[in-house]
Amino acid sequence: MANPGLKKSKSFVSKKSPSVKIISSPNPNEGDEIVHFSHPQHPLAQVHLPFVFTCMGCKEYGAGTRFQCLTCNFNLHDFCAFSPPSIQSHPLHSQHQLIFYAKPSGFLRSKCETCSKATKGFAFRCITCNVEMHPCCTMLYPQMDFPAHPHTMILLPASAIPSGDSSFFCGECQRKRSGRVYYCAICNYYIHAVCAKDMVNGLYVHGLKAPKSPSMLEAATRIATHAVREFLDGLIEGIGESVGGAIIDNFDRDKGGETKSK
C-alpha cells in the first residue's frame, strides 16, 4: 500500500564518488547526513563547529565544516568526504590523472608533492610518477587568493626555492619549512603551501592554529565533543519553540531563583 518512491527521503548515490550515499538532500547542508565508505556503520552528519578536529580520512587537521559521526567522534573534511575517484589533469600535475587511494601505499616515502608532509591516509596518487597529494593540497592551485593576503599569489616552481630554504620569510609561520611556496611579487611576500592549507581546511577562518602535539589535540577534541553535546541539547530543547525563547526563559527562571533565595 505504501508507495515505495515515498519510503525514504531522496536517497541516492552521489555522482562525485560512488561510495558516498547522501541520505537527505542532493546538496548537503548543515545537519544533512551521508553514509561514507570509510565509516559505513553510522551515518555522518554535516556540522559546522569552530574547533579543531583530525580528519579520519587524510589524518590531517581541519576546523569548521566537517562530516561527523556523533556516536564515535569520527570526523571527515567535507572535501575528503566527497573525494572523487580520480582527478583528470590537475593544474599541479596535468600530465597524468591522479587516482584516489583511501590507504597509504605502504612503500616508498609517501610524501605530498605540494606541502611536503607525509600522506598518512586519503591521498591522490599518480601511479606513473609515484607522486602523491593530500586531498586538501589538490585544492591549491597555481594562483590563489588567500584571506591572509590582499593580492593574488602564485605558486613558485618547485625548483625556484629549494625545500627547506631559509632565504625567505613565510608571512604566516615565520619558520623554516619544507614544500612549495606561494609568492606575491607586489609585496615580495611569501607563504608556504603547507601554511596555505590552513586557509583551505577551515583553521585560518576560525583563528585556529594546528595543535603542536597530539596531547593538545586530544584536549581540543574533548572540548569539541562536549560542545557538540551542548549544541545538540540546545537543538533538541529548541524544537517546537524558538531557541531564543527557551534561553530567555531559563535565564529568567535562574535569575528569579537567585533573587528569591536572597
Q: Which is nearer to Zn ion, 22 or 126 (CB)?
A: 126
Unique residue bearing C-alpha cell 568526504: 81
The residues pairing with 87 across neighbouring beta strands, listed in sequence order, are 98
Binding status of residue 33 toward Zn ion by CB under 5 A = no
The residue within the footprint of Zn ion, chosen from 45, 92, 195, 203 (CB under 5 A), is 195
* Max CA pair span of the chain: 77
Binding status of residue 200 toward Zn ion by CB under 5 A = no
Least distance CB 115 / Zn ion (angstroms): 3
Residue 105 CA to residue 133 CA, distance in Å, equals 12
Least distance CB 63 / Zn ion (angstroms): 12
Using the rule CB under 5 A, give the single segment among 8-16, 176-184, 209-217, 249-257 that binds Zn ion: 176-184
Residue 207 CA to residue 51 CA, distance in Å, equals 10
Q: Angle CA(78)–CA(81)–CA(83) in degrees, nearest 5?
A: 105
Residue 192 CA to residue 183 CA, distance in Å, equals 9
Integer angstrom CA distances of residue 121 from 87, 118, 176, 237: 17, 9, 25, 38
Least distance CB 225 / Zn ion (angstroms): 13
Q: Which is nearer to Zn ion, 72 or 216 (CB)?
A: 72
Least distance CB 38 / Zn ion (angstroms): 10
Least distance CB 16 / Zn ion (angstroms): 15
Which residues ranging from 80 to 119 are in contact with Zn ion (CB under 5 A)? 80, 96, 112, 114-115
Binding status of residue 185 toward Zn ion by CB under 5 A = no
List of E strands, 56-213: 61-69, 74-77, 86-87, 98-101, 123-126, 131-133, 143-144, 153-155, 181-184, 189-192
Which residues ranging from 130 to 149 are in contact with Zn ion (CB under 5 A)? 134, 137
Residues of this chain that interact with Zn ion (CB under 5 A) are: 42, 55, 57-58, 69, 71-72, 77, 80, 96, 112, 114-115, 126, 128-129, 134, 137, 151, 170, 172-173, 184, 186-187, 192, 195
